[in-house]
């Protein structure tokens, strides 16, 4: 059994750790509240932007088919809607800058690695664009080709920072250097649950035709012209998709960190209780031993 001094030292050490984990939990909880408000406010906007973009692209596709008999796949109505044979792809991996967040970083990194291996099996070369230190380090250790890294994106996150990422990715796609771009990030579901997700960013998904109540294709009249709308909607959709992925990652990280630090605080409390019990038993045994020695010495003097 360890000495009383060693046990006291352990109890003091665990109490210090408990103070740190409790403080980190409170900080993460406060930041989570703000991040959750931002992602909840953005989600409906992102969904509606995609719906409008799909509707406008569908209208232009129908117009192209009616005028020259072209099809969506043969004659793209926008450069970012062009689909090419996929030979080169970019995975944009979003992870945390720090650890102490449970399996948050490990889950998204393993999801990216599995998607990477799947592309390799299909003979598709993959490059990585990393946002977050943990993802960059994980992929670099496994020999992944890091095409670009965007450091400290989550500090003062705004649309200006998002524009840096989107302009880089769009330029790669337009120049033909890559044929497809994917986002890999954690969907924020709750403070305790984050689900890894792979989203195709470019090329933009082909529009899904909507049918009217009578079974005919639904058509709408747009003002201004659909071509003008599309020129604004496509960059907006890309920016909003990246921004949403960043906010989902940020909120998920704080939620995972708060949950992990809460568990660590409770574990520290249990450890303190166990060490205190061990300390009391050792102290009682030491006192009993001293009493026995005193009694034995007194009896020896009587003799």
pLDDT at 207: 54
Catalytic residue among 57, 60, 81, 101: 101
For 234-286, write each residue's pLDDT tens digit. 888 899 999 999 999 999 999 999 999 999 999 999 999 999 999 898 888 88
| Region 31-38 average pLDDT | 91
Instruction: Check pLDDT > 90 for residue 134.
Output: yes
Q: Minimal CA–CA distance to 109: which of 82, 126, 88, 131?
A: 131
Residue with more model confidence, 264 or 50: 264
CA dist list (Å): 196 to 46, 70, 186? 19, 38, 4
Contacts of 143 (CB under 8 A, 6+ apart): none
11-25, 70-84, 256-270: least confidently modelled range: 70-84
Answer yes or no: 107 catalytic: no
Tell me the pTM.
Answer: 0.82
Sign of the four-CA dihedral 8, 13, 16, 17: negative
- Edge-to-edge strand ranges of the sheet holding 146-149: 146-149, 125-131, 88-94, 180-188, 194-202
pLDDT at 75: 56
DSSP label at residue 117: H
> What distance in Å separates the CA atoms of residue 95 and residue 24, rounded to the nearest whole number?
19
pLDDT at 180: 92
Percent of the chain residues topping a pLDDT of 90: 50
Instruction: Check pLDDT > 80 for residue 298.
Output: no
CB 129 within 8 A of CB 92: yes
CATH number of 4-21+261-302: 1.10.287.80
pLDDT at 17: 93
> What distance in Å separates the CA atoms of residue 182 and residue 61, rounded to the nearest whole number?
24
């Amino acid at each position: 059994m360890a000495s009383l001094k060693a046990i006291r030292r352990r109890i003091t050490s665990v109490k210090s750790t408990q103070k740190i984990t409790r403080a980190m939990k409170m900080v993460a909880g406060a930041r989570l509240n703000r991040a959750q408000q931002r992602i909840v406010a953005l989600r409906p906007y992102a969904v509606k932007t995609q719906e409008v973009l799909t509707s406008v692209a569908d209208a232009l596709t129908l117009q192209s088919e009616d005028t020259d008999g072209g099809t969506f796949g043969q004659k793209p109505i926008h450069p970012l809607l062009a689909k090419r044979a996929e030979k080169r792809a970019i995975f944009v991996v979003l992870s945390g800058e720090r650890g102490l967040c449970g399996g948050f970083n490990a889950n998204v990194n393993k999801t990216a690695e599995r998607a990477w291996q799947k592309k390799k099996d299909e003979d598709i070369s993959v490059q990585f664009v990393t946002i977050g230190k943990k993802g960059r380090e994980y992929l670099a250790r496994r020999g992944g080709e890091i095409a670009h890294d965007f450091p400290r994106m989550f500090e003062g996150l705004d649309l200006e920072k998002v524009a840096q990422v989107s302009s880089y990715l769009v330029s790669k796609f337009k120049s033909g250097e890559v044929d497809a771009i994917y986002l890999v990030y954690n969907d924020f579901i709750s403070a305790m649950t984050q689900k890894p997700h792979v989203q195709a960013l470019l090329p933009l998904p082909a529009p899904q035709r909507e049918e009217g109540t009578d079974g005919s294709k639904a058509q709408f009249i747009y003002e201004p012209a659909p071509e003008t709308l599309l020129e604004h909607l496509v960059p907006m959709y890309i920016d909003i998709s990246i921004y949403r992925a960043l906010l989902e990652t940020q909120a998920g990280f704080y939620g995972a960190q708060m949950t992990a630090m809460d568990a660590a605080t409770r574990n520290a409390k249990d450890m303190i209780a166990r060490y205190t019990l061990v300390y009391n038993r050792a102290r009682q045994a030491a006192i009993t031993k001293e009493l026995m020695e005193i009694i034995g010495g007194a009896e020896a003097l009587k003799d």
